[in-house]
Amino acid sequence: MRQHVNPLSRFFQLPIEIPQVKDLFANIDLPIHLDIGCAKGRFLLDLASLDTTWNYLGIEIRNKLVLSAKKDKDRLKLANLNFSYCNANVSLEKWLNTLNHGNLRRVSIQFPDPWFKRRHYKRRVLQPSLLLSLIKSFKPGAELFLQSDVFSVIKPMIDLVDSSQCFTREPLNDFEWLDENPFSVVTEREHYAMANQLKIYRVLYRRNANDINLSGIFKR
């Protein structure tokens, strides 16, 4: 069961300071994988345990889930993993601006809250301003991974990313999807979708060397 909160409510519009890299990780020189909307953090907890050559940060708008994820992280003594509570579209840009350019090497947005009604589209997580902030933080080769089990959710995300002209998509064919998650672990929602034989739409983007097409991004 998805548990929505309204990211446009006054409470969630208050900026929250995300700690700097030196306060998040033991080794600040490792590349960063940012998971936006990490929920309980199970995906990152497993991934950080398996691959210690990356730093992992999960951000989540539901603070109770962040507190629970941090307890699990501390229990496992994972120095390359942390979690932060915030609204990505309000607080993330300021944190991204504190990073050394190119330190952010991968971003994943997996099974975001769907907000099906058209008048609620502005509540969806991947808004033009957030995409622009990510693009500015990426060097060529950095990855953006998107997946959902709802086509009407992932299609606008893909259209927005494509409109920037800053990414090369895998697979290249618009009518094909990645058969498997490119990582060694899967999310809780992904487990549920696979167990119930639901179609999962997956796309992996890599930052190219193109300049940003601002008119393409913000016309949406």
Closest CA to 82 of 23, 24, 149: 24
Written as six digits, the tokens of 31 are 């590349």
Q: Which amino acid is at 49?
A: S
Rounded distance, CA 102 to CA 104, Å? 5
Q: Give me the CATH code for the 28-218 domain, please.
A: 3.40.50.150
Residue closest to 2 by CA, chosen among 106, 130, 116 = 116
Domain regions of the chain by residue span: 28-218
Inform me whether the pLDDT recorded for 77 exceeds 60: yes
What would the pLDDT profile of 2-45 be if each residue is shown by its tens digit? 455 544 445 344 668 899 999 999 999 999 999 999 989 999 99
Mean pLDDT of the chain: 87
Residue 61: band (very low, low, confident or very high) from pLDDT cuts 50, 70, 90? confident
Cα angle value 99/105/109 (rounded, 5°): 100
- Per-residue pLDDT of 95-140, as tens digits, reads 999 999 999 999 999 998 654 444 434 446 788 999 999 999 999 9
> Which alpha helices (DSSP H) does 57-173 contain, by range?
63-76, 88-96, 128-137, 151-164
Q: What is the pTM of this model?
A: 0.88
Closest CA to 109 of 89, 94, 91, 90: 89
Please pick, among 23, 46, 72, 113, the residue that the annotation labels catalytic: 113
113 among known catalytic residues: yes
